[in-house]
């Protein structure tokens, strides 16, 4: 039996002015026929493009849309923490603001959120990235899966629907992309019940990823080791 009565849909946004407007409308149109109460929250994480103006103009005729502006770029995890903290509904759905995932597929997750499920986790059908990003992504997945004893088949798939209670009982802290690993480890330690489903992943239509650069990879590696120390070795 489906138990979803309210969803907060969260998007982190960094220089995504070309895509974020369509995603906001797509997710709302997809969810409202299925869920009585839907709000959409976008966190503009210090974008240098027209994201602020685009989002502010959208709020004029979309009362269900809330926009949070970070004055400086704080990182992927920090944007999610702001969005999750602002969420008011029982369930949280989130995906990225760059349109590599189809926000309309959020509707596929809702029927799977039954009484005995806490997390509906997507996994990518293929990967819409250049070969080197696919290789790095595959290596990263296997490393974190082993280090953190993760059971999901695609830790790095940012297309999730979960009960908000999970992050109230065990607050997240990571401000970088390693928040996905923290999330999966934390949910698993809390005894969350998972179901997984395939979702499409597309080539990024605009802009460039901030992760797949050597300084960013090195920084994430340091943060990942710190997270491993706290969550696995110290058993946080």
Give 99-135 pLDDT, tens digit per residue: 999 999 999 999 999 999 999 999 999 775 554 666 6
For 10-60, write each residue's pLDDT tens digit.
999 999 999 999 999 999 999 999 999 999 999 999 999 999 999 999 999
Residues 6 or more apart from 233 whose CB is under 8 A from it? none
- Residues 180 and 223 sit within 8 Å (Cβ to Cβ): no
Question: What pLDDT does residue 26 have?
Answer: 98
Which pair of tokens denotes residue 61? 């005729």
Question: What pLDDT does residue 201 have?
Answer: 92
Topology classification of domain 6-233: Spore Coat Polysaccharide Biosynthesis Protein SpsA; Chain A (3.90.550)
Distances (CA, A) of 72 to 14, 34, 69, 80: 10, 36, 9, 15
- Residues 171 and 87 sit within 8 Å (Cβ to Cβ): no
For 172-209, write each residue's pLDDT tens digit.
999 988 999 999 999 999 999 999 999 999 877 665 55
Task: Tell whether pTM > 0.75.
Answer: yes
Distance CA 30, CA 45 (A): 25
Distance CA 72, CA 52 (A): 12
H or E segment and range at residue 1: none
- Domain-by-domain residue ranges, the chain? 6-233
Q: Could you write out the DSSP letters of every residue in 106-160?
A: HHHHGGG-BTT-SEEEEEEES--S-HHHHHHHHHHHHHHHHHHT--SS-TT---E
Q: Residue 140 — pLDDT band, cuts 50, 70, 90?
A: confident
């Amino acid at each position: 039996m489906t138990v979803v009565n309210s969803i907060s849909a969260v998007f982190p946004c960094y220089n995504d002015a070309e895509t974020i407007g369509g995603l906001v409308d797509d997710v709302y149109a997809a969810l409202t026929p299925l869920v009585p109460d839907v709000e959409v929250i976008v966190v503009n994480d210090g974008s240098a493009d027209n994201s602020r103006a685009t989002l502010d103009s959208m709020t004029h005729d979309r009362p269900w849309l809330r926009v949070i502006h970070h004055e400086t770029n704080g990182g992927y995890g920090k944007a999610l923490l702001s969005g999750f903290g602002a969420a008011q509904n029982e369930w949280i759905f989130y995906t990225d603001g760059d349109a590599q995932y189809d926000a309309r597929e959020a509707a596929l997750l809702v029927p799977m959120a039954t009484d005995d499920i806490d997390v509906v986790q997507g996994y990518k059908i293929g990967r819409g990235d250049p070969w080197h990003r696919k290789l790095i992504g595959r290596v990263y997945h296997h490393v974190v899966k082993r280090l953190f004893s993760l059971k999901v088949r695609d830790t790095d798939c940012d297309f999730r629907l979960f009960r908000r209670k999970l992050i109230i009982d065990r607050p997240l802290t990571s401000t970088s992309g390693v928040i996905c690993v923290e999330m999966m480890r934390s949910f698993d330690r809390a005894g969350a019940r998972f179901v997984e489903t395939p979702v499409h992943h597309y080539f990024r239509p605009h802009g460039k990823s901030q992760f797949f650069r050597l300084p960013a990879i090195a920084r994430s590696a340091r943060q990942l080791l710190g997270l491993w120390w706290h969550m696995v070795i110290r058993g946080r």
